[in-house]
Chain A
Amino acid sequence: MNTLIIRGVRPYGEGDPVDVLVRDGVIAEIGDVEDDDAEVIDGDGAVLLPGFVDLHTHLREPGREDTETIETGSRAAALGGYTAVFAMANTDPVADNAVVVEHVARRGREVGLVDVHPVGAVTVGLKGEKLAELGTMAKTGVRVFSDDGHCVHDPLIMRRALEYSKALDVVVAQHAEEPRLTVGAQAHEGEQASRLGLQGWPAAAEEAIVARDCLLAKQVDARLHVCHVSTSGTADVLAWAKARGTKVSAEVTPHHLLLTDERLETYDPVNKVNPPLRTGDDVQALRRALAEGVIDCVATDHAPHAVQDKDCEWSAARPGMLGLQTALSIVVETMVETDLLDWRGVARVMSERPAAIAGLPDQGRPIEVGEPANLVLVDPGARWTVRGAELASISANTPFEGMELPARVVATVLRGRVTATSGRIPA
C-alpha cells in the first residue's frame, strides 16, 4: 500500500495549514494525520492546488527529438506543476492516425511523470483538406483534436469537423489564423511592426476565424475550443458568443498575458511566436477576460526549438517559446499579484477548466477525501530567476530569460506519487 502525507499545506491558499493523507492515489484524510510508514512531504505552509492541466503542449516526439522528447517534456511538465498535458499533433509524422497517437500515449505512460494525452490532427497531414480519422483516434482515447500551427481555414471542413466530433464526445481546438490575411506575417500588425519593417499579422485574422467558428459551432450545436487567444477583439467575440449560448471555450498563453510587441526591438527571435506578441491593451484585455471567465483557462503552447532555428534572422526563425516551467509564475505575476485571481481562480484556470474542456474525469478535481491525488504544492512567497539552460527541456528558448518571477512549485503529485519536489525529479 502506497501512502503519502503532505504536511502543513493550505488548500487553495485558504485557512490554517492542514495535513493531507494520500492512500493508493486517493485523498484519504485531510486534517491532523499520522502514519509512520508513509512518505512525507513537508509543505511548510504551501498553497495546495489540483495538479495543472495543459491543453496545449508541443513535445516534439516523434520527429524533432533534438529539441524535446516526451521524456524531457514530461519532466518539464512535472517540474511546472502539471499532472496532465495534451501533446499537439504537429509532429513528424503528424499525429493524424491511430498509430502515432497510440505511440505518444504509450511513451507518456512509460515515462510516467505526467498524463500525456495525444491531440489528434483534425485533417490529414494538417493540410486542411480532408478530415483525419477522428473516430478511430477517439477510440484510442483521444479527447482533443487540433491542426494547431495551421488553421482549419476552409469553412466547410471546419463545419464538418465540428459536426462530426459531436458523436465522439471530443472537442475541436482551432488555431485561429485566416491564412490569406497572414501571408508572410512576422509580427503583430501595428506601430511596432511598421517601424521594424516586419510584415503585419493583423488582429482581424484571428478575430475573423473565431467569429466564424463560433457561428459554425452554434449552427451545428457543437463544442469549439479556441487556442491561444491573443487579441482584445477575440475576447469581445468570445463574450458575445458565450452570451448567446455558443458552446465555446478558450485558452490564453502565459506569454500573451505578460509580454508585448515592444520586446521585438532587438529582433531576437526568442520573442517570435504565433500568434504574435501584441500590444499592452491586448494584454490587459486578456487578463480581464481570463479573470471574468470569458477566456476559460491558461495553456502554455510550450514550443521547444533548436538553437539554430532561433539564433538567426527574424524571418527565418521558427515561432514558439518554452512555457511549462514558467506558466505558474507568470500567472501569479499577471493575475494573482494584480488581484485579478485568487488561488481558487488559479485552480480554475490552470486545472479545473482545462480538465473539464478535455473531459478528463480524474484531473482538476476538488481537494476532498475520496478524490484522486493529482496535486501541486506552490510556495507563493518564493522568487526565482529564469535560466533557460537550467530548465528541463532540451531546448532553452524562453523569452523570460533573466526575469525574476514569483512563486515556485514545491512538489507535484500524480495519483499519490511524487513526480517533482524542490525543483528535482525524484529518482
Chain B
Amino acid sequence: MRHLLSTEGIDPADATAILDTAANLKQSLEGREVRKLPTLRGRTVITMFYENSTRTRVSFEIAGKWMSADVVNVSSSGSSVSKGESLRDTALTLAAAGADCVIVRHPASGAAHRLADWLKHTGTSVVNAGDGMHEHPTQALLDAATLRERLGDLRDRRIAIVGDVLHSRVARSNVHLLTALGAHVTLVAPPTLLPSGVERWPVTVSHDLDADLPSQDAVMLLRVQAERMHGGFFPSAREYSIAYGLNERRLALLPDHAVVLHPGPMLRGMEIASSVADSPRAAITDQVRNGVHVRMAVLYHLLAHEEETA
C-alpha cells in the first residue's frame, strides 16, 4: 500500500491487517511508561490541514511521534497557502523538503486523490485525513477497531449510521469499510440528508430510528453541522432531535450488548443526549484512543511494512 485515500474498494485483508496491527500496537503500548517505538525513526511525516481539526490532527501527530517519526504540522493559515499558493505547489514543496508521508485534510472532495497524482513521481505517501464530503478512511478504521473490541468479528453485525449522511465523509468511509468487513449497514436520516442514488448503495435505508434500534449491534451518530441546521434540510433542531436524536428512551430500545459511537465533536442534546454520551454503552473515548493506534498502524503499513517485506 502506497497511499490511503479511501476505504472504497479496500481489500478486506488489507483492512484486517491494519486493524490487527493497531490492536497489537495498543496491546504492546498499554501500561508502558515510555510509549515510543523506534519503527519510523528518521522518517518525516507532514500533516497539512486546510480545515480546522483538533482530534484528527493531534491523533496523527501523536501516532507519528509514538512511532519516532519526525512530525511537522502545516496549517493553511500561517503558511504559503495564505499567500495564495496552490495545493499542488504546496504538496510538491513538502515532498521536495523530504516528506515520506503527507497527511492531508482539505475541504475539496478528491483533494487527496489529486495530491497522490501530483506526487506520483516522488516517493511520498498520501493519507487522506478527510476530503470534503468524500471520505475519511482513518476515521472508519478507528470506528471498526472500536467495534471489533466490543463486538468481535464484524461479519453479519448490524450497524446503523444516523444523521447527515449526505455531507458526511465519515459515513461514506464507514459504509465502504463496514460492508467490506461483512457488516450490514443501515442509514437512518431524513430524505433531505441522504445522497442521491443511495438506494443503489449496499445498505438499507430507513427514516424510522425507533423501528431499527432493537436489531442493531451498534449505532453510529453523525454530527449535525451547524451550517446544515440553517440550510433548510430539516425544519428545526428540535424536530431533528425528536426524530433522530439518541436519548435515553431510545438507548433502552437497543440490545444490551449494542455500542454507541460518535466521531465527534458532539452536539450534546441535539444528536445525542448527554447521559447517553457518558454512559458505559458509549465508546466515544475508546474511539479517540483507538484512533492513535489505528493511525500508527496506517503509518506502519505505508512507511515501514514495505521495507520489511521487500
Contact = CB atoms under 8 A, between A and B. Distances in A.
Contacts of A268: 114, 117
A201 to B, nearest CB: 11
Given A197-B135, A266-B117, A313 B196 contact: no
Given A267-B110, A314-B114, A194 B134 contact: no
Contacts of A186: 109
Given A196-B134, A197-B132, A266 B113 contact: yes
B243 interface: no
Given A198-B133, A266-B117, A267-B113, A313 B197 contact: no
A313 B108 contact: yes
A267 B114 contact: yes
A169 to B, nearest CB: 43
A316 B196 contact: no
Nearest to B87: A313
Contacts of B113: 266-267
Contacts of A198: 109-110, 132-134
Nearest to B231: A183
Contacts of B134: 196-198
Nearest to A267: B110
Contacts of B265: none
Contact of B109 (A191, A202, A267): A267
A84 to B, nearest CB: 38
Contacts of B88: 311-312
A308 B86 contact: yes
A185 to B, nearest CB: 12
Contacts of B132: 197-198, 315
A118 interface: no
B293 interface: no
Nearest to A313: B108
A260 interface: no
B195 to A, nearest CB: 3
A390 B281 CA distance: 64
Contacts of A190: 196-197
B164 interface: no
B80 to A, nearest CB: 15
Interface string B125-158: 0000001111100000000000000000000000
Interface string B153-189: 0000000000000000100100000000000000000
Contact of A312 (B86, B198, B200): B86
Contacts of A308: 86
B108 A200 contact: no
Contact of A193 (B131, B169, B196): B196
A200 B192 CA distance: 13
B85 to A, nearest CB: 11
A189 interface: yes
B107 interface: yes
Interface string A233-274: 000000000000000000000000000000000111000000
A195 interface: yes
A194 B195 contact: yes
A195 B135 CA distance: 9
Contact of A316 (B108, B133, B200): B108
Among A190, A197, A316, which residue has the most Cβ atoms of chain B within 10 A?
A197
Contacts of A200: 196
Contacts of A199: 133
Among B107, B109, B111, which residue has the most Cβ atoms of chain A within 10 A?
B109
Contacts of B198: 194
Contact of B172 (A197, A312, A313, A314): A197
Interface string B67-87: 000000000000000000011
B8 interface: yes
B65 interface: no
A190 B107 CA distance: 21
Nearest to A186: B109
A271 B198 CA distance: 24
A313 B106 CA distance: 9
A198 B197 CA distance: 13
A312 B131 contact: no
Contacts of B110: 196-198, 267, 313-314
Contacts of B196: 189-191, 193-194, 200, 202
Contacts of B117: 266, 268
Contacts of B86: 308, 312
A371 B85 CA distance: 56
A202 B196 CA distance: 10
Interface in A282-313: 308, 311-313
A313 B51 CA distance: 15
B170 to A, nearest CB: 11
A278 to B, nearest CB: 13
14 contacts: A194-B198, A195-B172, A195-B197, A196-B134, A197-B133, A198-B110, A200-B196, A266-B117, A312-B87, A313-B106, A313-B111, A313-B114, A314-B110, A315-B107
